[in-house]
Amino acid sequence: MADDGLSGRRRTFASVRRLIITALVAALTVATQAPALAEPVVLTGEESRYPHAIRLEHGPQRGSILLALHGNHVVDVLRANRAAKKFKKVAAFVDTASTHATCCGHLYELPSQVGAMPAGTVLWVGSVGYKEETLKARIWRSPDAGETWEYLSECARAKPQGGLWEPDLSVDANGRLNCYFADESDAAHSQYIGRTVSSDGVNWSAKEKIVAVRPRGYRPGMAQVKRLPTGQYYMMYEICAQPNQYFCEAYHRTSQDGVNWGDPAWSGTRPTTKDGKYFAHTPSITLAPNGTPAGRVILMGQMLMSKNGKVDAGNGRTIFVSENGGRDGWYEVPAPVPVPGARDSYCPNYHPTAVASLDGTSLIGFASDFAPNGGCRTSWATGSLPPFPG
């Protein structure tokens, strides 16, 4: 029997309806399993600032992302699995050496055994106290990927009435644990980047100057050290209080062994794009694979500046990428968490941090900003990284 036009259209409409329903079910399933991060997601409803994230490389939680946030005198520790779909608070601790403040701490996972601590031990080091209390860089350790913490040691302290800020940890080529910090309690320098060294993480050497520039009023600080896949060490830091357009801009230097960093009086090299853009305040770096032996270095900072020293239109929305282990110049990429109001303040985009995906195609970023109630909140999101241009 021949179809009339009406029955043919009905079958067509039914087929189309089945296709639409199937597509909707598939879309809902995908959305439930892997929600897209169209907008940054606030990590907690509590005060949170100065984020620092690492990807674990040892033990049962290998591949997971560990994140430390500073609240009101508490360090909150969050963790996500390697897919980074959701972060869960796994611990919180308070350093009772100070009744007032815990500041500007970094996470570090031991890549090899140091003293009695095996590879995979997670360390946190931060500034504890106010100047009136004698500031100290104190280290806490976790044997279980951030779930439990205990105090380990003090790697440095300031002289009375002086500050000691932004400590960072690294294991050098000799297998010793290095503690870097910004010390403002030396009479010869308003501030310098110093270091102490330990073979066991408990007993520490005397301070030595790593970046100590002139004139006296210049203030290098906020050092972060990463070991590149080639074995070379890479340090990023800021130098504040310089005249004219430069204030707290980023600099970097390298070391073959993580021990010798060159002349402390040398400022270093300022990372800029081809058109002269640079970061001011709170530089932070992470590494990402790009299919080459040296990989890529990713640089974040609080404020993006144009060549003329004015705040750039991409301020708070931009990160820098450099190929070949940071030796191939810098180009711009959109930041995973945009903070358009980034400015010289303790919260908006202060010390952004990030971790690359395992394949290097995306970047899981973290940045803080003021909440509507005036508090500081940290958000996270995932952004894309470009393919290696070579």
pLDDT score, position 2: 35
Q: Do residues 107 and 121 touch, judged by C-beta distance below 8 A?
A: no
Q: What is the pLDDT of residues 152-172, one digit of tens each?
A: 999 999 988 889 999 999 999
pLDDT score, position 65: 98
What is the spatial distance between Cα 211 and Cα 254, in angstroms, rounded to a whole number? 12
What is the spatial distance between Cα 124 and Cα 152, in angstroms, rounded to a whole number? 10
The dotted CATH code for 48-267 is 2.120.10.10
Q: Please, is 180 exposed, middle or buried when counting C-beta atoms within 10 Å of its C-beta (0-12, 13-18, 19+)?
A: buried
pLDDT score, position 21: 32
Q: Do residues 100 and 136 touch, judged by C-beta distance below 8 A?
A: no
Q: Is pTM, for the whole model, over 0.95? A: no
What is the spatial distance between Cα 138 and Cα 170, in angstroms, rounded to a whole number? 15
Tokens coding 219: 């203030």
Neighbours of 329 (CB within 10 A): 14
Residue 379 neighbours by CB under 8 Å, 6+ apart? 40, 41, 42, 43, 337, 366, 367, 368, 369
What is the spatial distance between Cα 69 and Cα 76, in angstroms, rounded to a whole number? 5
Instruction: Extract the residue ranges of the chain whose pLDDT is less than 70.
Output: 1-38, 132
Tokens coding 187: 């009479």
pLDDT score, position 373: 84
Residue spans of the domains in the chain: they are: 48-267, 271-389
Q: Do residues 234 and 226 touch, judged by C-beta distance below 8 A?
A: yes
Nearest to 302 by CA among 285, 292, 312, 315: 315
Between the alpha carbon of residue 150 and those of residues 125, 142, 154, 180, 348, the distances in Å are 12, 7, 13, 21, 31
In SS3 terms, 103-170 reads as EEEEEEECCCCECCECCCCEEEEEEECCHHHCCEEEEEEECCCCCCCEEEEEEEECCCCCCEEEEEEE
pLDDT score, position 45: 86
Q: Please, is 38 exposed, middle or buried when counting C-beta atoms within 10 Å of its C-beta (0-12, 13-18, 19+)?
A: exposed
Neighbours of 116 (CB within 10 A): 9
